[in-house]
Every structure is written in C-alpha cells, then in structure tokens.
Chains A and B, each alone.
Chain A
C-alpha cells in the first residue's frame, strides 16, 4: 500500500456541488498538507496541519475547508465547487526530524478534480 493514499483519484462534478477529497497516511507523521497544482503555477498550499488540533490556512484557502479526523487522516472539502477549482490536488505529509535533518514531503498520487 502507498504511504499516502488519496481518494478519489478522479472526480467530475458540477458547479455548486459539495466535494470531499480524502487523504490517509501510514507514515506516522504529524504534519499533513493539501496542495493544488495548476499548469504553469506549480504547487500552492491550501491548508496544513501539524497535529490533530492544529489547522492553518495556506496561500489559497478561500473556498476550501479541511478536517483532521485523526493523525492519519486529513480531508479537504469544497463546500460549493466552482469551475476555477478544477485542478490536481495533492496531499502530503512530513516529518521535521527526518533523516539528514531535512523536513521532506511525502506526496500522495493526486486527485484530479474537474468542475463543470
């Protein structure tokens, strides 16, 4: 099994619908992140969480919400999807005490969301 699992991998929905993207990890890491990838823009941080009771907004949090249900689970919600939220979404985890002293991100395979 993958260290970081995202579901669904692909989703097509309509404007105004509520969507939830789920992420689970087996790394045992406290830190989890949601990123959005758009062509030519790289990765942009939506939300991050350093433990179950800690939620922080990232660069582009408007229109999104998150829930950290457990150390291993971090879900991203779009309450009312709009077409410009069409993108590839990545969940990631990290351990700041990682090997070599570097805080390395481990990514899921991504969730491709299309909003019509």
Chain B
C-alpha cells in the first residue's frame, strides 16, 4: 500500500539554524510528493511539491528533492525564522489522484 513516514517531533531550533525534516514514502508506482504547512489556528496550505524523480520543489526558502532511489522527500531550510514555527506534513498522491496519504506531522518551534 501507500504510506508516508516522517520524522517525529517536536523540533525546537534557534533562529537562523539549519532545518531538516525527514520524510520517506512507500508507494506502488510513481507518486507526486508534497509538503504542507499548518500555522497555528489555520488549515494546511501547500508549501512545495515535486511530481517526478529528481525534481526539486522550493518555496519561501524551503527545499525538498524527490529521491526515487531512497524513496525520500526531506524538507530543508538553511536559516529558519520565528515565523516558520508551524506543523509540517509530508504527503503523497498517485497519478490517479484519488487519495492523498499524509505523514503524522512534525511540529517546529523556532526561538529567537
């Protein structure tokens, strides 16, 4: 079946630190991969996506590369800010797009 496993949280970092949140997936085929972010009191919103192997998604200083050989889509940011404090979800959908599969979410807190 299809599933997503992501790094457990919570994660606490100081401002300007480097961020990595690990995400690996299992899929019976070639999925599209996503990172969604949920700010406090809000719904999830798309952060970045990649639709095929070796694609790099990027947005707001965040990056993730679709690695088929390691079935991974790790989220990185070189210098986090307090405003990046949120819960981050890794997700996949197959090309049919019938269903989305989410990881359990990783809470990030950035302290000044």
Interface residues of A (CB under 8 A from B): 4, 31, 33, 40-43, 45, 48, 58, 90, 92, 94, 96, 100-110
**Is residue B22 contacting chain A, with contact meaning CB distance below 8 A?**
no
What 0/1 pattern do residues 87 to 99 of B give for CB contact below 8 A with A?
0010001000111
Q: How far, in Å, is B5 (CB) from chain A's closest CB?
A: 11
Q: Interface size of B by Cβ–Cβ distance < 8 Å?
A: 21
Q: Are A96 and B43 closer than 8 Å at their CB atoms?
A: no
Contact B51 A100 (CB under 8 A): yes
Which of A45, A92, A100, A104 neighbours the largest number of chain B CB atoms within 10 Å of its CB?
A: A104
Could you tell me if A58 and B104 are in contact, using CB atoms closer than 8 angstroms? no
Q: Which of B49, B97, B102, B103 has the most CB of A within 10 A?
A: B97
In the A-B complex, the 7 residue pairs with the closest CB atoms: A107-B43, A103-B97, A42-B104, A96-B97, A43-B102, A107-B44, A42-B102
Which chain B residue shows the least CB distance to A108? B43
Nearest-neighbor residue (CB-CB) of A94 within chain B? B97
Smallest CB gap from A107: residue in B: B43
> Could you list which residues of chain B lie within 8 angstroms of chain A, going by C-beta atoms?
32, 34, 36, 41-46, 49, 51, 89, 93, 97-100, 102-105
The smallest C-beta distance from A82 to any residue of chain B, in angstroms, reads 23
- CB atoms of B102 and A109 under 8 A apart: no
Tell me which of A101, A103, A104, A109 contacts B42 (CB under 8 A).
A109
Q: Which residues of B contact A105 (CB under 8 A)?
A: 36, 44, 46, 100
Of the A-B pairs whose beta carbons lie under 8 Å apart in the complex, a sample of 20, sorted by A's number, is A4-B43, A31-B97, A41-B104, A42-B89, A42-B102, A42-B103, A43-B44, A43-B89, A45-B100, A90-B43, A90-B44, A92-B43, A103-B32, A103-B93, A103-B100, A104-B46, A105-B44, A106-B46, A107-B43, A107-B45
Interfacial chain A residues near B51, Cβ < 8 Å: 100-102
A96–B43 alpha-carbon span in the complex (Å): 20
- Please state if A42 and B105 are interface contacts (CB–CB under 8 Å): yes
Most B Cβ at <10 Å: residue of A42, A45, A110: A42
Chain A residues with CB under 8 A of B98: 48
Bound Cα distance A45, B91 (Å): 13
